[in-house]
A and B are shown apart, each in its own frame.
Chain A
Amino acid sequence: MATKRMDPYSELGVSKSATQEEIKVAYRKLAKKYHPDLNPGSKEAEMKFKNISQAYDWIGTPENRAKFDRGEFYEDTAQAGAGPGFGQHRRGPYYYQTQEGGPKYGEGRYTQNFGEGIDEGFFESIFGKFSEGRAHAGGRRSQQFSGEDHHYQMEVDLKDAVLGSEKEITLATGKRMNMKIPAGIFDGAKLRFSGQGGPGIGGGPAGDAYVEIHIRPDRRFKRVESDLVFELPISITEAVFGAEVRVPTMEGEVLLKIPPHSNTGTRLKIRGKGMVNKTTRKRGDEIVELKVLLPKKIDAELEEALKKWQSKHSYNPRDQVAA
């Protein structure tokens, strides 16, 4: 749809040769006259204010003005879908709309109950004994707020989570501090550092810093609730005759006895070497799952031996999964 081009100079009532100061003065004068919050409910004032705001956006600074005079500004805003004459830069309602607009924008928190003190003297009501419910004039420092809480996220290795560790962290304030990660911390846990957030307001206390811990997936251990599952490859002979092999745990290697006649899928338990259980606070187990591997190269001797063995002891390993 074609839109009529607005001339920001005539909208602000200044000539094309006006200085930036003259433009500013003209804008301020019109803004005071037409600001919707000073003319609540007036659609004409609102439209006029939008137009002069848009006009001032276009020529209020030397850079924007030069761009507008070259015709670039109009093209930019037209391409962006903002038709001239309708200031699109403002987001949200005007203040008066929130105070008398009903449930759409607000409840008029700042003006409700105003009547309690309406008979007070003017200066007294502004500078004097404001009641708590509607105190928003200046001159006093009654409001105190805690500073903002700052939130961070940190990834740690599984070993750090299980055994605990110490890490250095740089806060948004630029401060560096050592952070102790307690042993047995679980994924998603938040550590709080009191007073390390944003500064307090009006003398209020500083906010806190929260660091949310995420545990990186581990290459060797798979987490199943509070247990850690480790897949241990073993040879055919270890599976048949049993063996003692070294197995890694979070605290280092331990010797694990593999009973004779073990098979792929056999699960052996090393107690108390898993993750800390979130509820019981006790450590889970490390589950060692055996996986029988053939040698990388099957030689003639093994082939021959298996042929002999098969002729007398043939078996079907799929018996148990048959329908």
Chain B
Amino acid sequence: MNPEQNHKAHYYFTEVCKQLGIKRDFLMHCLQEDWVKPALPETLEFDEEDLARIHFIVELREDFGVNDEAVPIILHLVDELYYLREEVASLTGSSDFSFSKRVSKS
């Protein structure tokens, strides 16, 4: 384990449900579908990354009306997008690579 991980906040299953206002069954569903991989799987503890990802999944389903079949596709594309952004940023030496121009034009 990375020593820095010891200082990160971790949340247990029930805390995640409470904090995000989601039902236990839904969080179990996210785990069963492999959409979320807890930071500490042995003790089933989640970190900020997991919480943000679950929150994103909730928004995809509730706000965007995305169904279960489409969730993994979107997650995959989004993860790939972030990976590529990092790659481009490292290749160009810029940490300010963003899509803000595209948004502001639209």
Among A42-50, A67-75, A162-170, A218-226, the one that faces the other chain is A42-50
Which residue of A93, A95, A111, A138 is within 8 Å of B34 (Cβ)?
A: A138
B22 on the A face (CB < 8 A): no
Which residue of A90, A95, A112, A142 is within 8 Å of B78 (Cβ)?
A: A95
Q: How far is the CA of A94 from the CA of B60 in the complex (A)?
A: 13
Residues of A within 8 A of B106 (CB): 33
Q: How far is the CA of A145 from the CA of B75 in the complex (A)?
A: 22
Decide if A27 touches B100 in the complex (CB within 8 Å).
no
Decide if B79 touches A110 in the complex (CB within 8 Å).
yes
Given contacts A92-B51, A97-B52, contact A143 B100 (CB under 8 A): no
Output the least CB separation between A75 and chain B (Å). 24
A115 on the B face (CB < 8 A): yes
Given contacts A95-B55, A143-B34, contact A111 B86 (CB under 8 A): yes
Residues of A within 8 A of B85 (CB): 40-41, 100
Q: Majority SS of interface residues in chain A?
A: loop
Given contacts A111-B82, A201-B32, contact A145 B14 (CB under 8 A): no
Contact with B along A184-197 (1 / 0, CB 8 A): 00000000000000
A64 on the B face (CB < 8 A): no
Q: Majority SS of interface residues in chain B?
A: helix
Output the least CB separation between A70 and chain B (Å). 26
Which residue of A45, A93, A112, A139 is within 8 Å of B52 (Cβ)?
A: A93
With both beta carbons as reference points, the residue of chain B lying nearest to A94 in the complex is identified as: B52
Q: How far is the CA of A126 from the CA of B20 in the complex (A)?
A: 27
Decide if B13 touches A198 in the complex (CB within 8 Å).
yes
Decide if A126 touches B34 in the complex (CB within 8 Å).
no
Decide if A140 touches B52 in the complex (CB within 8 Å).
no
